[in-house]
Amino acid sequence: MMLPYFIIIPLLAAFFITLIAGKKDVWGISLSLIATVVLLILSLVSFARLRGETILYEMGNWKLPIGIALVLDSLSGFMLIIVNLVALTAIIYSIQYIRHLGQDFKYYGLFMFMLTGMNGVILTGDIFNLYVFMEIALFAAFALVAYGCRAEEYEAAFKYAIMGAVSSTLILIAIGVLYSATSTLTMARIAQAIPSLPSGIVLWVGGLFLAGFGLKAAAMPFHAWLPDAHSSAPAPISAMLSGVLIKVLGIYAITRIFFNVLDAPAVFLTIFIVIGTISVLIGGFLAIIQWDYKRLLAYSSISQIGYILLGIGLATPLGILGAIFHLFNHAIFKSLLFYDAGSVELAMGTRDLRKLGKVGKFLPITSGTSIIASLAISGIPPFNGFFSKLIIIIAAVAAGQPLLALFAILGSILTLAAVMKIQRYGLRQDVNVAPVEKVGLGMNVAMICLAVICLIGGLLVAPGIRNVTLDPVVNVILEKAEYVQMVLGR
């Protein structure tokens, strides 16, 4: 049974990095690379072997409901692939990028600790352990945001920690209410008990979860911490935060709890649509007015999270399909955009778009991959972002919500304007500038890998491929009864 290894491998890697690395970072790099490669292979093999089924691992061989279970279904398997794929590219990218901040093993130990928490959140079938793993990931993320030890990074990490504490408190209160009402922490058993609970308790718990996980996802109006944290963190950590952390601790948790546990109350689906639409539009407007390269991308993340929430709120098979596909696509092209921003900052010594110039001629790979990622996030064919946004727009029209489809199209126009600002001023401004440092092989390899996925990622919706990749994920989300049966009915 391979499920525990998704938690054991990064946790042991963090331990051994701290134990044997010494003052150099060579052991940290080596162990992190080995761990992330193994985790990505395990993720791909696990998902391929699932074939729409569910795998249950009971910790210590204690049977449910007494014991704690790890649950691998198509949704959690798909999320594991996304997280560990981005983590591998982030480690490759970090080798040179982090060394310009100093050769320190602590970065890699914290990175593995954060990865442990995210994998744990995805796999656990116990709602309190979801909270525990979430806190593990968050504490590592707080430290990594402040890793550069500059004043702005300390301030961003402090804001992130305060907002994280508030959201975690709300989530813990909701878990306490659920436990008092159902006498269990196993999510499948809670789902069984939900129909017999008073509607007031479900609404009360749902409201707390919405606020708590909404803060983790950084959707509006819960977004205040994100621009500072994502812009101040080292570039590979910005990629992890925007690419996967807010998805795992926010979107994945919302989807799992509201659909598989609370049975998708209609009032919350409406709220998801409202929050998603607001995030798409306002996040796009705020991105356009930014001159800080990474801050622009941070606000863009708020807008893209809005698309995912919009698709989830529609709660139709097509809407969920678009949301899940856009979650994957956003993890890829937003991570790539943050890698591009980090390369520009490393080479030019600034991320102020007004102080950059003809960067493209010095950084051809950064420039080329930035164009690909910019077109992908804007929903331009044939890149991956086009297909997921198109599915969400069609889903809105099919659900009798043409106005939502119009807002989604407007959001893409705003995104295109924001990223073209990067291209115009950040990479192709008619000003001659000289780089202060070269971008190394590892950074270029990470960018090229994600750029290739942006180019071919649209194939996931091709007939035949979609049936074995995205459709099983959609089925898990929409079939609460099947989730309960697969976990408990054995």
Q: What is the DSSP string of 228-275?
A: HHHHHS-HHHHHHIIIIIHIIIIIIHHHIIIIIIS---HHHHHHHHHH
| pLDDT tens digits along 167-185 | 999 999 999 999 999 989 9
Confidence at 466, pLDDT banded by 50, 70, 90: very high
Q: Which pLDDT belongs to residue 388?
A: 94
Alpha-carbon separation of residue 202 from 35, 104, 167, 266, 267 (angstroms): 40, 47, 18, 12, 11
Phi, psi of 401 (to 5 degrees): -125, 65
Report the percent of the chain where pLDDT is more than 90.
62
Over range 276-294, report the average pLDDT: 92
Q: Which pLDDT belongs to residue 123?
A: 94
| pLDDT tens digits along 414-431 | 999 999 988 888 777 766
Q: Which pLDDT belongs to residue 204?
A: 92
Domain interval for residue 469:
5-488
pLDDT of 394 > 60? The answer is: yes
Q: Which pLDDT belongs to residue 431?
A: 61
Q: Is the peptide bond prior to 221 cis by the omega test (within 30 degrees of 0)? A: yes
Structural domains counted in the chain? 1
Cα gap 28→13, rounded to integer Å: 8
CB 306 within 8 A of CB 223: no
| pLDDT tens digits along 143-153 | 999 887 777 88
CB burial of residue 370 (10 Å; 0-12, 13-18, 19+): buried
Q: What is the mean pLDDT of the chain?
A: 89
Over range 67-79, report the average pLDDT: 90
Q: Which pLDDT belongs to residue 435?
A: 64
Over range 458-468, report the average pLDDT: 91
| pLDDT tens digits along 181-212 | 998 999 989 998 998 888 889 999 999 999 99
Q: Across 224-228, 312-316, 436-440, which has the greatest mean pLDDT?
A: 312-316
Over range 366-388, report the average pLDDT: 92
pLDDT of 490 > 70? The answer is: no
Give CA angle at 292 (291, 294), nearest 5°.
Answer: 135
